[in-house]
Amino acid sequence: MGGIKVSEKLEINQDHLEWLKKMATEHGLFDEHKALRVLLDYAMQDGDLEAIFTEVRCNHCNDVENQD
């Protein structure tokens, strides 16, 4: 339970939430919030930021309602 956690409302797609829940279950994490923190810690410490933020990986590009 390292660090001080803050509550912030974020919008994610339903399939992203389902995946986070699945990863939490499969990896013995407390919940989807912890799974997201694990991903963020990885991205911040070890992630290739160019690959993360410049390569387009859009699973929802055909979803006109969800283009942000």
The reply to whether 41 falls in a domain is: yes
The pLDDT assigned to 26 comes to 98
What region, left, alpha or beta, does residue 6 occupy, with left being phi > 0 and alpha being psi -120 to 50 degrees? Answer: beta
Per the structure, the complete domain to which residue 25 belongs is given by: 14-54
The reply to whether 44 falls in a domain is: yes
Per residue in 7-23, pLDDT tens? 999 999 999 999 999 99
The reply to whether 66 falls in a domain is: no
The reply to whether 62 falls in a domain is: no
Band of pLDDT at residue 28, cut at 50, 70 and 90? very high
Cα dihedral 27→57→13→9 (10° resolution): 80
In total, how many domains does the chain have?
Answer: 1
Band of pLDDT at residue 67, cut at 50, 70 and 90? low
How far apart, in whole angstroms, are the C-alpha atoms of residue 67 and residue 50? 22
Q: Residue 1 above 70 pLDDT? A: no
* DSSP structure class, residue 65: T
Q: Report the predicted TM-score, pTM, of the whole model to 2 decimal places.
A: 0.81
Residue 37 CA to its chain's centroid (Å):
8
